[in-house]
Structure 1
Amino acid sequence: MDLQQMRYVVAVAETGGFTRAAERCHVVQSALSHQVARLEKELGARLFERTSRRVRLTAAGEAFLPAARQALEAAERARAEVAAASGQIRGTLTVGSIPTVTAVDLPAILGDFRRRYPQVRIHLRAGASERLVGQVRDGALDAAFLGVPPGFRTQGVRDRELALGRHVAVVAPDHPLATRDRVDLGALAGELFVDFADGSAARAQSDAAFAAAGLRREVAFEVSGVELMARMVRNGLGIALLPELFAAGLHGLRGVPLTNGPVRVERLVWSRAAPSPAAAAFLALLDVDTRLPAA
């Protein structure tokens, strides 16, 4: 068993076929299939069920895949650590972020990082705050930028508060509220809202603010991204509540300040384990002390 065989198995599992896996790995399909077959013979079990229409993991394949990924990640980490010992930062940096982050200029930070460490592969993953925390905890992300209510507690990760900001009511330019200098939640209670999915941290901030004011509201449209949210507000389907600094950058919409609106805390989270050389270099750009607490 070798790392290349594991790499082929992971590629087949992720692409769903031997042809696409071979294209990803830059080898001919026959060579990839031969190596997977050799590995199956060594293990004494088939890893894939092959039909004319699809390729899928067997029970043995499902059991093998996580271990194969861990082995590949450990090998890459070992190479990165050796390179770091000689003063070179290599490997992979995977960062997660909410779409509405404003506490940092993330593109600028990642651009600076790439100029400093051109041998590091950078990946950015967008998602909801609660999901990003789990991915950092599980090791799928090196760090993540969250936007959460003030009482939100992160579990199993290290974290730092970056900024605290207020939401504004985001309305179309011809909406009756667009000319107001300031409104309270009571003035919004009769409006239809466009918001994120129920149960998400982004939605909870607004729900909590209305509940604290003793008000109910109707969320008529649930969306997964701010681009669709902005388009729906722009077309008069409803209004939205978004962080003030982020809303200021939305073309063709008006952000109306709220007297009792939601408050959002932006946080940076990273793993409790020792970071990889690439992750440590990224966190250093953010002035984060990555030394582990004394036992």
Structure 2
Amino acid sequence: MIGSLTLDQLRVLVTIAETGSFSAAGRRLQRAQSAISQTVATLEGTQGVKLFDRSGHRPRLTEVGRALVGQARLVLSGAGHFEAMAAGTRDGVEPELAVAIDPMVPTAPLIKSLRALRDAFPHLAVSFSTEGLGGAERRLRRGDAALAFCILLPSVPDDLKALPLLSAQLLPVVASGHPLAGLGRAATRADLEEHVQLVLSDPSAPDGPCHGILGTRTWRFVDLSRRLDFLLAGLGWCRMPEHLVAPFLADGRLVALAIDDDPAGFSGPLMIYAAHLRERSLGRAGRWLLGDLQARFDGPSDRVVV
């Protein structure tokens, strides 16, 4: 019966399984063998099962006993996590950290920081989601994420606290076999009007405004990797984060596209922010993650230009 089950009983059962005998379990737990035997007998009696076969020289786990040892380990582990989470909360660590990122955010530094976060806060529950353009900000507002890494256009909203992390320089590119790649000069507005621009858009408003549109022939995507597939296939041109297209520029599958009087070029790079709601302060783990990411982006070996 669950009401009479104690963590101590489960700890004794697991210790016997690990040490191989009642006496060895007593030595590890610093208890008399008789106390260990009584704990097992009480556990068997209250649960109505036979955990040990006592017909031989020494008690051996029954089939049911072996199965319940596994369950006991799970319960003890869960109790340990419960205690660690409670202790962390007392020390200002949030019980859970939900993170959301927009597609423009480079993942390599984020992966390194999340690994380091796991080492620094091993009992922290972390949830992670990748979103379409604008999705991370929406998750913040719905309360589904505590921290978002995203681009905020046209400016940082008043209800968000946003820390600039890095600039995002988008590079106009086109497949090497596309007509625009063979111009031999900067493309004009008239040149671009003849070809499709592959545009990354907000999935909640696929026909809404997008950054850097030139011309009227647009194909809209909510998935950055799918847009890259269409770009490599020569079905249009677009602006892409440089770190994503660098391998294809190096092997010649893509070429950089110069644009005459490009308004996006005059407006400068986009900024990627780490953002959270002003009314919802970050806990220790969230602040730690931000500090670690800042160090990685500011370090010369990890500086990222996208």
Indicate the TM-score class for this superposition, using the shorter chain for normalisation. 0.5 to 0.7
Relative to the length of structure 1, the TM-score reads: 0.57
1:281 aligned partner, one-letter code: W
Matched, 1:256 2:261: no
Give the Å deviation of 1:155. Answer: 4.2
In the alignment, structure 2 segments of 5+ residues that lack a partner are 1-80, 296-306
1:284 aligned partner, one-letter code: G
Find the partner of 2:173 among 170, 174, 184. 170
Mapping for residues 237-248 of structure 1, pairs under 5 Å: 237-248=235-246
Equivalents in 2 of 1:182, 1:164: separation in Å?
Answer: 27
**Equivalent position of 2:163 in the other structure:** 160
Task: Decide whether aligned partners of structure 1 residues 110 and 183 sit closer, same or farther in structure 2, where only a CA change above 3 A counts.
Answer: farther
Give the Å deviation of 1:229. Answer: 0.7
1:222 aligned partner, one-letter code: R
**Equivalent position of 2:90 in the other structure:** 85
Equivalents in 1 of 2:82, 2:184: separation in Å?
Answer: 54
Q: Is the 8 A contact 2:196 2:237 kept in 1?
A: yes
Range 236-245 or range 175-184, more displaced: 175-184
Give the Å deviation of 1:205. Answer: 0.9
Task: Decide whether aligned partners of structure 1 residues 97 and 258 sit closer, same or farther in structure 2, where only a CA change above 3 A counts.
Answer: farther
Equivalents in 2 of 1:158, 1:84: separation in Å?
Answer: 23
2:274 aligned partner, one-letter code: L
2:216 aligned partner, one-letter code: R
**Equivalent position of 1:121 in the other structure:** 125
Q: Is the 8 A contact 1:143 1:270 kept in 2?
A: yes
Q: Is the 8 A contact 1:81 1:277 kept in 2?
A: no
Mapping for residues 69-218 of structure 1, pairs under 5 Å: 80=85, 82-85=87-90, 91-102=95-106, 105-149=109-153, 151-178=154-181, 183-184=186-187, 186=189, 187-197=191-201, 199=205, 204-207=210-213, 210=214, 216-218=215-217
Highest Rg: 1 or 2?
A: 2
Q: Is the 8 A contact 1:171 1:240 kept in 2?
A: yes
**Equivalent position of 2:229 in the other structure:** 231
Task: Decide whether aligned partners of structure 1 residues 286 and 233 sit closer, same or farther in structure 2, where only a CA change above 3 A counts.
Answer: closer
In the alignment, structure 1 segments of 5+ residues that lack a partner are 1-75, 211-215, 289-295
Give the Å deviation of 1:181. Answer: 8.0
Count of equivalent residues: 203
Give the Å deviation of 1:228. Answer: 0.9
Q: Deviations over 1:134-161 (max 9, x none)?
A: 3223321121111244x33324221022
The percent of aligned pairs where both chains have the same amino acid is 17
SS in 1 for 2:211: helix
Give the Å deviation of 1:255. Answer: 3.4
Q: Is the 8 A contact 1:196 1:225 kept in 2?
A: yes
Give the Å deviation of 1:285. Answer: 2.2
Misfit runs of 4+, over 6 Å? 76-79
**Equivalent position of 1:4 in the other structure:** none
Matched, 1:267 2:273: yes
